[in-house]
């Protein structure tokens, strides 16, 4: 393995890796980043509408469109995680910090959307602070705040792939992790 690592210091392999990154890898990363930003914007809009305009779904078609977009984009990224598990295997997948953050984000985001979409009397449950079940006293803003925080933290994951932001992102991650 050490012999293979020494090849990366040579000019030709380094040039090939840079070429592949700028030709293919960067485009793929930007495509994923664009979809991820759509997820951030739609869930932020969904959260804003829930908090600002009330919590009963069905007040407008826009609420349902936002919820459907959030669910669809979330399932798209969850499928990416399942694919990563199949490719890398559990042994390599589980120790990665970002994978744990991703699943935590997707599960809490879906629970927030499903709770406000399916709960018969969401507004009354919100006021009683009993969103998940009558026995679990969840503070309602937490249900929306946790996925928001995790979504924005994942933006750092995408920013580490670019020369201009990668060094600073890695510095923040190493300080926090």
- pLDDT tens digits for 24-67? 777 777 888 889 999 999 999 888 887 777 655 556 677 778 88
- Cβ proximity of 69 and 138 under 8 Å: no
| pLDDT less than 50: residues of the chain | 1-2, 120, 133-137
Q: What pLDDT is recorded for position 79?
A: 94
Per the CB < 8 A criterion, the answer to whether 40 and 152 are in contact is: yes
Helix (H) or strand (E) holding 21: none
CB 115 within 8 A of CB 143: yes
Tell me what pLDDT residue 117 has: 66
Residue 52, pLDDT score: 75
In this predicted structure, what is the pLDDT of residue 121? 55
- Cα 48 from Cα 120, distance rounded (Å): 20
Confirm whether pTM is higher than 0.75.
no
CB-side neighbour CA atoms (13 Å) of 42: 22
| Residue 70: predicted pLDDT | 92
pLDDT value at residue 32 = 86
Written as six digits, the tokens of 17 are 């890796």
The CA distance from 22 to 18, in Å, is 6
Q: If residue 76 lies in a helix (H) or strand (E), which one and from where to where? A: helix 61-88
State the Cα–Cα distance between residues 145 and 109, nearest whole angstrom.
9
Residue-level pLDDT at 135: 43
């Amino acid at each position: 393995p050490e012999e293979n690592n020494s090849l990366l210091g040579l000019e030709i392999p380094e040039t090939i890796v840079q070429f592949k990154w700028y030709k293919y890898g960067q485009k793929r990363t930007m495509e994923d980043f664009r979809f991820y930003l759509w997820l951030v914007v739609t869930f932020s809009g969904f959260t804003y509408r829930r908090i600002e305009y009330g919590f009963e779904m069905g007040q407008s078609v826009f609420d349902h469109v936002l919820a459907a977009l959030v669910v669809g984009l979330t399932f798209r990224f969850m499928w990416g995680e399942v694919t990563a598990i199949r490719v890398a295997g559990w042994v390599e997948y589980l120790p990665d910090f970002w994978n744990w953050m991703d699943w935590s984000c997707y599960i809490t985001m879906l629970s927030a959307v499903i709770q406000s979409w399916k709960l018969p009397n969401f507004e009354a449950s919100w006021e009683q602070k009993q969103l998940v079940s009558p026995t679990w006293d969840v503070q309602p803003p937490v249900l929306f705040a946790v996925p928001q925080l995790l979504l924005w933290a994942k933006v750092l994951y995408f920013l580490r792939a670019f020369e201009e932001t990668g060094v600073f992102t890695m510095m923040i991650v190493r300080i926090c992790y």
